[in-house]
């Protein structure tokens, strides 16, 4: 699993559990339609995308159940913390993703919420298939073995 080495990206929220629970087949970057207080709250580094998912409604993609806390100085213009947020994806990507989700039983899972080098909030989405319990066990065994192998090579290498 390759980590992003770009120092210009500021990660706000990371969904680490998604890679354990889902088999990631493809990733894409999507923009978010946010209000001003949501952006200010994100700049403070507060958000949670652990239980969120993306769905298609009326031909548009929406991020559902993501949590961006209210901005402390937002007064009456503050946003609702768990509202639906529209995702900005090109029409070609929408068509491709819509077909794979409906036909093959895939799901869209958010992996990471971050600011790109231009300062825009972006969401890394994954087209994923849910893992079965035995697949999760196998992933855990493989990770433990890799950790043990690295430890042995460091000691005796």
pLDDT value at 4 more than 70: no
Predicted pLDDT of residue 7 = 61
Residue 15: which of 111, 123, 107, 82 has the closest Cα? 111
Question: pLDDT digit string (tens) for 131-154?
Answer: 777 777 888 888 889 999 899 888
CA 25/CA 155 separation, integer angstroms: 35
The more confidently predicted of residues 78 and 30 is 30
pLDDT score of 8 more than 70: no
pLDDT score at 1:
40
Q: Give me the pLDDT at residue 107, please.
A: 83
Residue 79 has pLDDT above 70, yes or no: yes
**Residue-range domain boundaries for the chain:** 10-131
Number of neighbours of residue 113 by Cβ within 10 angstroms:
23
User: The domain 10-131: what is its CATH number?
Assistant: 2.40.280.10
**pTM exceeds 0.95:** no
pLDDT digits (tens, 9 = 90+) for 94-132: 888 877 777 777 888 899 999 888 888 899 988 888 777
User: For 44-70, what is each residue's pLDDT tens digit?
Assistant: 888 888 888 888 888 888 989 888 888
Give, in degrees to the nearest 5, the angle at Cα 3 between 100 and 47: 75
Residue 2: pLDDT over 50: no
Distance between CA atoms of 155 and 157, rounded to whole angstroms?
6
Residue 6 binned pLDDT confidence (cut-offs 50, 70, 90): low
């Amino acid at each position: 699993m390759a980590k992003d080495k770009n120092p210009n990206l500021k990660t706000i929220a990371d969904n680490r559990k998604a890679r354990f629970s889902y088999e990631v087949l493809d990733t894409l970057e999507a923009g978010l339609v946010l209000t001003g207080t949501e952006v200010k709250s994100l700049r403070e580094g507060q958000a949670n995308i652990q239980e969120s998912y993306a769905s298609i409604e009326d031909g548009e993609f929406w991020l559902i159940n993501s949590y961006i806390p209210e901005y402390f100085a937002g007064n009456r213009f503050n946003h609702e913390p768990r509202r639906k947020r529209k995702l900005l994806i090109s029409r070609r990507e929408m068509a491709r993703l819509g077909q794979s989700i409906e036909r093959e039983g895939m799901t869209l899972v958010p992996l990471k919420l971050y600011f790109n080098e231009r300062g825009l909030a972006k969401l890394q989405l994954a087209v994923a298939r849910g893992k079965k319990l035995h697949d999760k066990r196998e992933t855990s065994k493989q990770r433990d073995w890799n950790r043990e192998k690295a430890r042995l090579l460091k000691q005796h290498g």
